[in-house]
Amino acid sequence: MCLGAILQINALPLHKVEGKCVEPKNFNKNQKQVILKAFRYGAKSGFGYTMAAIAWKESCAGEYRVNFADPSAGIYHAHIPGIIKKHKQKDTNFMRNMVGELLMRDDEFASQSALEELTYWHKVRKGNWYEVIKSYNKGFSWEKDRERDKMAQEYFEDIAKRVKALQTYIPSISPSVAKSLKKDYAVDFLSKSLQENNKKSSTKLPNLPKTSNTANTKNKNFVILEE
């Protein structure tokens, strides 16, 4: 059999590629393992649901581990040039290929890199989870650029939405793992935000002065003059 025939047989069915990820309820076995792995790794530092949500968003829980446009790789799609710079290596095509391969192949290294990034921003942003997520996505740039701020805001809202979904999903597939969680920055932030919104919505309007549709009239005495 010729090489061309082999490539044709093993070709990716591109007509089936939709470019979007499934919901957790439709995760396959490998995706479930990736989500739980990300959750466990981040849970010890308060980022359990955050890392699981990022893994779901960035790589569809491990299904798509590389983005050549960024370039980024791994289950969290770590920015390859950033990883190279962090480890004080020379940024070459060869080094990018090596780091990209390592991120895709070694989930432990990918998880360590993601957690270190989140921990760094948690310190810089003084524990503000909202700003941590925006900074994880766009660094410092969202503070000065309106367009990048918009992108970072959309990223935050997406991660927050996924965290809420995972709060139901993870306990359903592994109750013991979910119960082992002691503290979670994402859950704390979202819970506090919900409480504040409830307080605002339950605030009573000030009593307005009562008004009457009929005017009060006093009886007047009329004097009839004689002609």
Contacts (Cβ under 8 Å, ≥6 apart) of 23: 165
pLDDT digits (tens, 9 = 90+) for 87-107: 999 999 999 999 999 999 999
CA dihedral 138, 141, 147, 150 (to 10 degrees): 50
Mean pLDDT over 124-140 rounds to: 96
Q: Is the pLDDT of residue 57 over 70?
A: yes
Helices (H), the chain: 3-9, 29-43, 48-59, 80-86, 93-105, 107-124, 129-138, 146-173, 175-179, 185-202
Indicate the burial class of 63 (C-beta count within 10 angstroms; 0-12, 13-18, 19 or more). middle
pLDDT digits (tens, 9 = 90+) for 191-211: 988 777 776 766 555 554 454
The number of residues in the chain equals 227
Q: To 5 degrees, how large is the angle CA 29–CA 35–CA 36?
A: 90
Q: Is the pLDDT of residue 134 over 60?
A: yes
Closest CA to 102 of 154, 66, 139: 66
Check whether 179 has a pLDDT greater than 90. no
Q: 143: which DSSP letter?
A: G
The DSSP H or E segment spanning 79 is strand 78-79
The mean pLDDT value for 101-116 works out to 96
User: What is the value of pTM for the model shown?
Assistant: 0.80
219: confidence class by pLDDT, cuts 50, 70, 90: very low
Average pLDDT score over residue span 8-30: 70
The reported pLDDT for the residue numbered 146 is 94
Mean pLDDT of the residues in the chain: 85
Q: Pick the more confident residue, 7 or 37.
A: 37
Query: What is the predicted pLDDT for the residue at 59?
Result: 96
Using only C-alpha atoms, the chain has a radius of gyration, in whole angstroms, of 28
What is residue 41's predicted lDDT score, i.e. its pLDDT?
A: 96
pLDDT on residue 144 = 93
pLDDT at residue 149 is higher than 60? yes
Best CA proximity match to 72, nearest among 160, 137, 22, 132: 137
Number of neighbouring beta carbons within 10 Å of residue 45: 17
Residue 106 φ then ψ, to 5°:
-110, 100
C-alpha 82/C-alpha 93 separation (Å) is 14
Confidence of residue 65 (pLDDT cuts 50, 70, 90): very high
Chain centre distance of CA 224: 86
Domain ranges of the chain: 24-113+158-194
The confidence score (pLDDT) of residue 204 equals 53
